[in-house]
Amino acid sequence: MPTRRQFLTLAAASVCAVCGTAEHPVAQLGRKPRPMTCPAVVAGSVTNQSGTLGGWASAFVDACGDRQGVDATPPANSQWQYPLLLSDKAGAGGHYQANQVVKGERRLLLALVAARLDPATCPFPAADSGHTVAAGWNDGAGNNYQWVVTFSSFSASNCNRSDKSGTGGTVTITSIDAASVSGSYSGLTFQSLSGSLSGTFVAPRAAVAGLMTPEDFSGCPTRPGSQSCLNA
């Protein structure tokens, strides 16, 4: 099973890619994939919400995700990340594609990290009853997974970001495929913030060009490398 350091290295890449703090997209290796039609961006949902963080009451209104990977040779997707972005502002999928944030926005990032120690395909995990944040698990077939969670708040004046790492709680998968992820989170706690968050989500794919083989949505927009700040 990969070490905690290996998992966190992969998780850091997924967190930075979604939040706009690293070069994007992830480089691909191996055979060129067959281009696929870009899926339409559709709104996600966050329901059954409860909890507060540092006095902010949970109020997410949209969700999206986008699988990212590093391919083996021959292409096998032995390592990938599937970050899911929950936002209290509408238009999360479009904002993700354009690398935009809204002044005063709050985001919850649920990053699923997957890896094998050999160059074989690491599949999507099965639906489950929940796994603890930052505690990796193995499905018994050499496939290793981990949830890494981050709560981000953006300044209402200039979009300056404050990130808090998840320290506890669980994330549960109800269904997962290349087009969407649904599930729930319970009792999520974060570094130096009082309170916890719980809820249920549906996060449709908001793809950007060239991130994953064989899911090369080359008709999708290329995500800008620098983040822009929106008034609303």
The CA distance from 46 to 101, in Å, is 18
State the pTM of this model: 0.85
pLDDT at residue 74, as a whole number: 56
Say if CB 203 and CB 84 are below 8 A apart.
yes
pLDDT at residue 34, as a whole number: 52
pLDDT(72) > 70:
no
pLDDT at residue 76, as a whole number: 67
Residues of the domain holding 86: 4-230
pLDDT in tens, 14-48: 444 454 443 233 333 344 445 567 888 999 999 99
pLDDT at residue 8, as a whole number: 41
Count of CB atoms within 10 A of residue 76's CB?
17
Count of CB atoms within 10 A of residue 122's CB?
22
pLDDT in tens, 110-152: 999 999 988 888 999 999 999 999 999 999 999 999 999 999 9
Which tokens hold the place of 196? 């916890």
Which tokens hold the place of 139? 């499905």
* Domains contained in the chain, number: 1
